[in-house]
Structure 1
């Protein structure tokens, strides 16, 4: 929450109160439920990101504000759904940022490739965490 608000203020948004603070609070509240309902929290976090981008201009990306939700959900057996949700969000993000394409191709590529790379890292980390938990469980069961 703090990083999101700080990034918004650093880019010159005059007042974070109309959209940024409520959005950050919603994401922060959702994080409290991520272990109990990881997929619900992911879907609601992604919906909050969409809603935020609809009502406010922001330098915020599309994936990183929901990174905790992606990481947690990727550690579940529903990792294919997590990837599908992330890819859908990336496609929308790339289309939404098309105005950058005509003005600054490198910035557009950094935006789209960076978001895709972050999604891949989050899903990979979630899979690695789940594999570690499974390994630890098998190791404790045999030991």
Structure 2
């Protein structure tokens, strides 16, 4: 009996991964457009749908190029916020990209990108301070907490995969 692992994952595993990525892409579109509409964006055709579609397409490439997908997602969010006013968040639209990139050995760069994005978000939202300090704090702290959770979850996922590999190789 041969207990060696095949060089390539079984077809059902590869197809499942593709289905997961398609589902995450669809969820990205639906949730971002819904959030944009819920935050009183006048029309989603002024950039929200376009950004949602860009982020969704990027999700489809997250496994192959996690850092590139993260950087392009962050860049797309910056362009969206610069081109049109929106109270939509800065970190959560790229949640899948942050989680995936955090599961790689480049987690320090992921944290650096996230911190830079948070700093810019906090500066960009400073006008809220005069109107509603609580909203500003919730926005800034909430985005930071979400970033920490996404990076922590990515690290935990990577650690679990490493543990499973070691356990399997020991058997």
Q: TM-score, with normalisation over the residues of structure 1?
A: 0.98
Residue 90 (structure 2) pairs with residue 56 (structure 1): no
- Specify the structure having the higher radius of gyration (Cα): 2
| Residue of 41, 49, 52 corresponding to 1:13 | 41
Segment drifting more, 112-121 vs 7-16 = 7-16
Q: What is the distance in 1 between the residues matched to 2:40 and 2:133?
A: 23
The aligned counterpart of 2:14 is none
What RMSD in Å do the two structures reach over aligned CA positions? Answer: 0.7
Q: What is the distance in 1 between the residues matched to 2:87 and 2:140?
A: 13
Q: What is the distance in 1 between the residues matched to 2:30 and 2:153?
A: 23
Q: What is the distance in 2 between the residues matched to 1:134 and 1:63?
A: 27
User: Shift of residue 134 of structure 1?
Assistant: 0.2
Q: Unaligned stretches of 5+ in structure 1?
A: none
Q: What is the distance in 2 between the residues matched to 1:14 and 1:58?
A: 10
Q: What is the distance in 2 between the residues matched to 1:118 and 1:94?
A: 14
User: Which structure has more RCO (C-alpha within 8 Å, separation ≥ 6)?
Assistant: 1
Over 3 Å off, 4+ runs: none
The aligned counterpart of 1:3 is 31
Q: What is the distance in 2 between the residues matched to 1:35 and 1:92?
A: 27
- Secondary structure of 1:5's counterpart equals helix
Assess if the C-alpha contact under 8 Å between 2:70 and 2:98 holds in 1.
yes
Q: What is the distance in 2 between the residues matched to 1:70 and 1:11?
A: 23
Q: Unaligned stretches of 5+ in structure 2?
A: 1-28
Q: What is the distance in 1 between the residues matched to 2:39 and 2:65?
A: 33
Written as runs of structure 1 = structure 2, the 5 A alignment for 1:27-106 is 27-106=55-134
Q: What is the distance in 2 between the residues matched to 1:10 and 1:112?
A: 19
Question: Once the two structures are superposed, what CA deviation does each residue of 1:39-73 show, in whole Å capped at 9, x if it has no partner?
Answer: 00000000000000011111211000001000000
